[in-house]
Amino acid sequence: MFIETETTPNPASLKFLPGRQVMQAGTREFASPEAAEASPLAQAIFDTGETTNVFFGSDFVSVTAAPGVSWNDLKPIVVSILLDHFVSEAPLFVGGDASGISVPQEVELLVEENSEDEDIIAQINELLETRVRPAVAGDGGDIAYRGFKDGIVYLTMQGACSGCPSSTATLKHGIEGLLKHYVPEVVEVRAA
């Protein structure tokens, strides 16, 4: 088995590609060692003491190094952990699968949405799913819809995109421009 790595726009994060499916559906972010207890793989990566975020995508794992940690030192350790996990065919989650684990696909909304905006919200989510998510996944992350109210779309960046220096530009210039173009009711995109 060979694990490829790709850089991401976030210099603190690397994207690891094991050449096989990681998540059957959805994504899962582990932003703390406590959250990582749900996954032996995420926990093993956090146990290095040198990471601050682990993110599972459909066919990749993104890892964010702690401040001051060199990828020259951390990369071989993470590759070794990933190899051990996938070669042994160990379960991704405690209990063997994701059932019973809250996979944050449906993230809590930050604003109370107006039922009259259902069509607009559906258009926003369709664009996020078909145009934005694939691009963000290419950078080792994901995006979570957190609400729409008074023309403002609230989104959360996840994985390698969380805390990325270019995430504000991605939200403001990329995603906001796209949504405004296709959904005229959108006036602004804000990070949640």
Amino acid letter, 56: F
Residue 62 has pLDDT above 70, yes or no: yes
Give the bridge partners for 66, in sequence order: none
User: Could you report the per-residue pLDDT of 24-36, keeping only the tens digit for each?
Assistant: 888 899 999 999 9
**66 and 123 share a domain?**
no
pLDDT of residue 78: 97
What six digits make up the tokens of 71? 């990828």
**142 and 187 share a domain?**
yes
Question: Of 103, 98, 143, 148, which Cα lies nearest the Cα of 123?
Answer: 148
> Does residue 110 form part of some domain?
no
The sheet with strand 4-7 has its strands ordered as 4-7, 13-17, 61-65, 51-56, 28-30
For the stretch 168-172, contacts whose Cβ atoms lie closer than 8 Å and that sit 24 or more positions apart, written own/partner, are 170/9, 170/136
Residue 5 has pLDDT above 80, yes or no: yes
**64 and 131 share a domain?**
no
**128 and 175 share a domain?**
yes
What is the domain count for the chain? 2
> Does residue 95 form part of some domain?
no
**9 and 80 share a domain?**
yes
Q: Tell me, what CATH number does 63's domain have? A: 3.30.1370.70
- State the average pLDDT over residues 167-192: 88
pLDDT of residue 142: 87
> Does residue 108 form part of some domain?
no
Neighbour-count burial for 55-83, b at 16+ CB within 10 Å, e otherwise: bbbeebbbbbbeeebebeebeeebbebbe
User: Could you report the per-residue pLDDT of 76-125, keeping only the tens digit for each?
Assistant: 999 999 999 999 999 999 876 554 443 444 557 778 888 899 999 999 99
Q: Tell me, what CATH number does 169's domain have? A: 3.30.300.130
User: What percentage of the chain exceeds 70 in pLDDT?
Assistant: 94
- State the average pLDDT over residues 146-164: 87
Residue 136 has pLDDT above 90, yes or no: no
The domain boundary residue, chosen from 69, 88, 107: 88
Question: 78 lies in which domain range?
Answer: 4-88
**8 and 80 share a domain?**
yes
pLDDT-derived band at 162, boundaries 50, 70, 90: confident
In Å, how far from its chain's centre is CA 144?
8
Question: Of 123, 135, 125, which Cα lies nearest the Cα of 161?
Answer: 135
> Does residue 99 form part of some domain?
no
pLDDT-derived band at 73, boundaries 50, 70, 90: very high
